[in-house]
Amino acid sequence: MTVTEPFIHLDGLEKTFTVRRRAGLVRREKREVRAVDGISFGVERGEMVGYIGPNGAGKSTTIKMLTGILTPSGGRLRVAGIDPSRERTRLARRIGVVFGQRTTLWWDLPLKDSYTLMHRMYRIPDARYRENLDRCVELLDLGDLLDVPVRQLSLGQRMRGDIAAALLHDPEVLYLDEPTIGLDVVSKAKVREFLRDLNGERGTTVLLTTHDLTDIEQLCSRVMVIDHGRLMYDGELAGLHEVGESERLLVVDLERELPPIEVPGARFVRAEGPRQWLAFPATESAAPLVAAVAAAHPLVDLSVREPDIEAVIAKMYGGTREERRESLR
């Protein structure tokens, strides 16, 4: 029996950068940065996976290798059977990339002109292009924006425009690097809903890099954590919370300043005037806690905050970032 290779397959993948830095007036020192340090994983077709980690962990470097922009220093990499750095152009027809912090759209042109250019660049068959464009315009609410120059779009509008641009050629894989960064709550919800539908209806494989754990919670059944270029966790988000013993925060706005709230299952963290912060295990549902607080206290408002990724990872491995770096040496 032949074992088929996963759709995206990394085996001991490495990327080392050589950085030169001044070590005196004239002398320069060479230093090696192992941005990706032997990562192995497989992603099956149609999976939606979160790829998370603290700043400088090696996420963007991995994505750049997956798209063929960077050549690995070691290990093996295949996307849809293609070696990305050797056959970048062939792979480009099968993948889509969205970098939240940069745009692939033409800054001075109306949004629709960028799409026309992509239509030609990717040589997308006319009917397919029309169908995909119409679908994106409808689902991403782009109708009123098509004639607006990209530089005049808000961040959320631009992001939706970028996501559409990445999908016009029907990619089988979509890499998203911080797709919800800087977006307001409504825009975030729109982007997430669209991605969920895309994955459900078209079976597009999605690899998502984000600092927002809510993105992962709402979209991904599997999450991979990378730190210092190494894979530290691969499994369900709930499992990550368990390993990291992470806590969510319930932020409660009361009608007036009151003594610390005491409810079973939560820990009082701090108060500032009528606002109080209560911590509870991220593996538990917030609903019973909200009900208990609302039943016993005069509430004005409340919200739930997800643990941040840095905090979960710090708890998972203990110590500070520097101590963790030492422990990996």
Ligand X SMILES: Nc1ncnc2c1ncn2[C@@H]1O[C@H](COP(=O)(O)OP(=O)(O)OP(=O)(O)O)[C@@H](O)[C@H]1O
- Rank residues 37 and 47 by Cβ distance to ligand X and give the closer one: 37
Q: Please state whether beta strands 173-177 and 95-99 pair in parallel, antiparallel, or not at all (unpaired).
A: parallel
Collect all residues with Cβ–Cβ distance below 8 Å to 3 and sequence separation of at least 6. Answer: none
Out of 2, 4, 55, 320, which residue is the one contacting ligand X (CB under 6 A)? Answer: 55
Q: Does 60 bind ligand X (CB under 6 A)?
A: yes
Q: Does 4 bind ligand X (CB under 6 A)?
A: no
Is residue 290 helix, strand or coil? helix
- Rank residues 59 and 160 by Cβ distance to ligand X and give the closer one: 59
* Alpha-carbon span 74 to 211, nearest angstrom: 27
Q: Does 59 bind ligand X (CB under 6 A)?
A: yes
Q: Which stretch binds ligand X (CB under 6 A): 53-61, 88-96, 278-286, 297-305?
A: 53-61
Burial readout 285-296 (b: 16 or more C-beta within 10 A, e: otherwise): ebeebbebbeee
Q: Does 56 bind ligand X (CB under 6 A)?
A: yes
Give me 28's structure tokens.
């320069």
Out of 61, 132, 187, 205, which residue is the one contacting ligand X (CB under 6 A)? Answer: 61
- Rank residues 55 and 320 by Cβ distance to ligand X and give the closer one: 55
* Alpha-carbon span 48 to 205, nearest angstrom: 6
Q: How far is the CB of 63 from ligand X (least distance, A)?
A: 8
Radius of gyration for the alpha carbons in the chain, expressed in angstroms and rounded: 23
Q: Does 228 bind ligand X (CB under 6 A)?
A: no
Helix (H) or strand (E) holding 102: none
Q: Does 84 bind ligand X (CB under 6 A)?
A: no
- Rank residues 59 and 222 by Cβ distance to ligand X and give the closer one: 59
Restricted to residues 16-35, the positions that interact with ligand X (CB under 6 A) are 17, 19, 33, 35
228: alpha, beta or left? (left if phi > 0; alpha if psi -120 to 50): left
Restricted to residues 148-187, the positions that interact with ligand X (CB under 6 A) are none
Q: How far is the CB of 216 from ligand X (least distance, A)?
A: 14
**CB-CB contact of 252 with 293 (8 Å):** yes
Q: Which stretch binds ligand X (CB under 6 A): 55-63, 112-120, 165-173, 217-225?
A: 55-63
- Rank residues 34 and 93 by Cβ distance to ligand X and give the closer one: 34
* Alpha-carbon span 198 to 46, nearest angstrom: 10
- Rank residues 73 and 283 by Cβ distance to ligand X and give the closer one: 73
Q: Choose among 17, 41, 55, 282: nearest CA to 178.
A: 55
- Rank residues 59 and 248 by Cβ distance to ligand X and give the closer one: 59
Q: Does 107 bind ligand X (CB under 6 A)?
A: no
* Alpha-carbon span 97 to 176, nearest angstrom: 6
- Rank residues 63 and 173 by Cβ distance to ligand X and give the closer one: 63
Q: Please state whether beta strands 247-254 and 299-305 pair in parallel, antiparallel, or not at all (unpaired).
A: antiparallel
For 135-158, the DSSP string reads: HHHHHTT-GGGTTSBGGGS-HHHH
Out of 50, 58, 68, 307, which residue is the one contacting ligand X (CB under 6 A)? Answer: 58
Interface residue list for ligand X (CB under 6 A): 17, 19, 33, 35, 53, 55-61
